[in-house]
């Protein structure tokens, strides 16, 4: 199985900050990398697919990049509603696997 390693596991930031979350795959996955946001008590929500394509309706302050094994999710100008847990997920091969999540908290 492909292992997905996210870092950091948690971080604190303030409204208006820019933050970056990284995700590394244990083998190359081309651009088959997706990012999800999950708020407490809610289902995950797709933010970005194919490493860099913004899902419809997702604000442009979310940006994804990377290819191969190393990927990043950048949130520019954090808004109060962005404080949540973020997961990366590879869909290059089965079984699909997720990172362990990055919890973004308000400083």
Partner 1 sequence: QVQLVQSGAEVKKPGASVRVSCKASGYTFTDYYIFWVRQAPGQGLEWMGWINPDSGGTSYAQKFQDWVTMTRDTSINTVYMDLSRLKSDDTAFYYCARQNVYDGNYLDYWGQGTLVTVSS
Q: Does 11 bind partner 1 (CB under 8 A)?
A: no
- Out of 19, 75, 99, 104, the only residue in the binding site for partner 1 (CB under 8 A) is 99
Q: Which is nearer to partner 1, 56 or 60 (CB)?
A: 56
Residue 39 interacts with partner 1 (CB under 8 A)?
Answer: no
User: What six digits make up the tokens of 40?
Assistant: 């407490």
How many residues make contact with partner 1 (CB under 8 A)?
Answer: 24
Q: Which of residues 45-84 bind partner 1 (CB under 8 A)?
A: 45-46, 49-50, 53, 55
Is 98 one of the binding residues for partner 1 (CB under 8 A)? Answer: yes
Dihedral in degrees, nearest 10, Cα atoms 52, 55, 58, 64: -10
Nearest to 32 by CA among 64, 57, 63: 64
**Minimum distance of partner 1 from residue 14's CB (angstroms):** 25
Per CB under 8 A, does 44 bind partner 1? Answer: yes
Position 86 contacts partner 1 (CB under 8 A): no
Spatial CB neighbours of 47, under 8 Å, sequence gap ≥ 6: 35, 36, 37, 54, 55, 58, 62, 64, 73, 86
- Residue 33 has a CB neighbour count (10 Å cut-off) of 29
């Amino acid at each position: 199985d492909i292992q997905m390693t996210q870092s950091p596991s948690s971080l604190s930031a303030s409204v208006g900050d820019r933050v970056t979350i990284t995700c590394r795959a244990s083998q190359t996955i081309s651009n088959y990398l997706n990012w999800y946001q999950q708020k407490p008590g809610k289902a995950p929500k797709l933010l970005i697919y194919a490493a860099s394509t913004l899902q419809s309706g997702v604000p442009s302050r979310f940006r994804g990049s990377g290819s191969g094994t190393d990927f990043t999710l950048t949130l520019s100008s954090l808004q109060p509603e962005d404080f949540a847990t973020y997961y990366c997920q590879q869909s290059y091969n089965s079984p699909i696997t997720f990172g362990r999540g990055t919890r973004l908290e308000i400083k």
